[in-house]
Structures are given as structure tokens and as C-alpha cells.
Copies of this chain bind each other. A is one copy, B any other.
């Protein structure tokens, strides 16, 4: 079988590496309209060849869309609108939008909506790494709306990547993703902006940036082209979570302002319950 991957960045490139080394596909092709990315992907040997989207529709059993969530919708429609379309899966971090856009498409069942919960804060083909998805969660959304052969092939892909596969309603996925992923990215971006935009003591700040700071701010290096569309697409869920977060920031701020040490401690002790989330087996 043949797979084509549209978008050879961190996610697409890492998938290409593992699938090329695996047994499900005899050929792994890449499609990328960024010529620098295409060249880099070939140079790194991520794919067997770079082909056009049209060609990939003709030759593939499966096309994997690994481009930003807004761009993925258009390309998905372009593929599904062809009578002879192959199976298609996407890997976007929000699922409601792309599912909505194809819900009345005649070839809807050829599409499988997925979200592999893996990544690093780096981007581009050069950031691709072997084993990125190993032991990480791969979520398949609204699986009942895909034909069983499509769903099976996508599960084979994630099995080959070593992922832990789970099935979930797309609405529930998007709500939960706002909490565990989208809001951490926003808070990390804000933290970086705050530190970068002070004129005070730059040298000391550089010197003192220690472990706690580095880990909290790491996500602020995430790719704007990937993340801006995710947050806008999931705004229905992201905005209320953001409001709650800002309310808690103001509550913590107010306790500090009022020297309310007991109130501050209560909030912190309440936050400490997060231990049961971060210490659960991965």
C-alpha cells in the first residue's frame, strides 16, 4: 500500500520516518507546497519522493493531512470531492471544525478524524524525530462516521507508530483539549511575552532563568502557523476556559495585594490536587 503525507513538518515528518521504516506501506510520499520543506525532507530521507497533491490522490491508499487545521479543511474537501478519492486522515489538534465541513460530503466515510497527542515545541522537517508517537495517545474522533476499512487502516498506522489508540466524541475532544493543551500554550505565550518585554535587569533575568521557568515557558516556542488557527478554530471552548483562568489569576493577585496569606495558601493547596493528574501513569 501507498501513503502520502501532506505537510512535512514536525508531525508529518515524524510520521513519515516511522511509516517508511514500518511494514504497512511499501511507499511513503510527501506533498508540501513549501519548496524548502520539500527539499529538506528529501535530503533527510523522510519520504521516498515528493509528489503533487493530484498525483497523491491517484496513487495513494491513504493520505495523511499534517498541515494547519484551517488549511486542512480545504485540502480535505479537494480530496473528498474526487470520485476516486482514497482514504484520508487528518492529525489536527481541533476536531469539530474539520468534521463539520465534510459532514454532508458524499465521501465523508472515507475520512477519519484523528489527533495524535504528541509533539515538541520545535517545527519543520528538521524537527522530525523517530518514535515521536510511541506510547502517546492517538485519539480517533466520531469513528462511527468513517467506513470500517478506513478506520482499520488508520488504526494500523497508529499501531505502527506505537501509539495508544482511543476513540472519542469530537465535541468532548475539543472541550478537553482546551483545558489540557490550548490553555497551557496561551499561558506560556503570555509568560514569554511578559519576560521578553521588560527592560529591567535583562542580564539577571537571563542568568536566573532556571528549571522551573524553562519548563513553564517551553511551549511558547510553538509554531504560530500551527497554533493561531487551532485557538481560533476552538474558540467556543478556549474562550470560557481562558475566562476562568484569568479569574483565577485575578483571585491570586487579589490575595497577594491584600496580604491574604491564608487565602493564598488555600488556593495553592487546592491547586496542589493537580498532583493526581501529573503523577498518573503516562
Contact = CB atoms under 8 A, between A and B. Distances in A.
Interface stretch (A13-21, A104-112, A219-227): A219-227
Interface in A207-252: 207-225, 227-229, 231-232, 235, 238-239, 241-246, 248-250, 252
B210 A271 contact: no
A18 B215 CA distance: 26
A35 interface: no
Interface in A122-144: 136-137, 139
Given A231-B256, A253-B246, A274-B217, A267 B191 contact: no
A268 B193 CA distance: 9
A213 B181 contact: yes
Contacts of A195: 179-180, 183, 274, 277
Interface in A254-282: 256-257, 259, 261, 264-275, 277-278, 280
A171 to B, nearest CB: 9
Interface stretch (A26-34, A150-158, A197-205): A197-205
A59 interface: no
A180 B256 contact: no
A138 to B, nearest CB: 11
A162 interface: no
Nearest to A214: B278
A208 to B, nearest CB: 5
Interface of A: 70, 117-119, 136-137, 139, 166, 168, 172-173, 175-177, 179-181, 183-198, 200-201, 204-225, 227-229, 231-232, 235, 238-239, 241-246, 248-250, 252-253, 256-257, 259, 261, 264-275, 277-278, 280
27 contacts: A117-B210, A119-B211, A137-B207, A139-B208, A168-B204, A176-B208, A179-B198, A180-B209, A183-B194, A184-B212, A186-B252, A187-B187, A187-B216, A188-B216, A190-B271, A193-B270, A193-B271, A215-B218, A220-B274, A221-B272, A223-B268, A224-B269, A228-B261, A231-B252, A231-B264, A232-B256, A246-B249
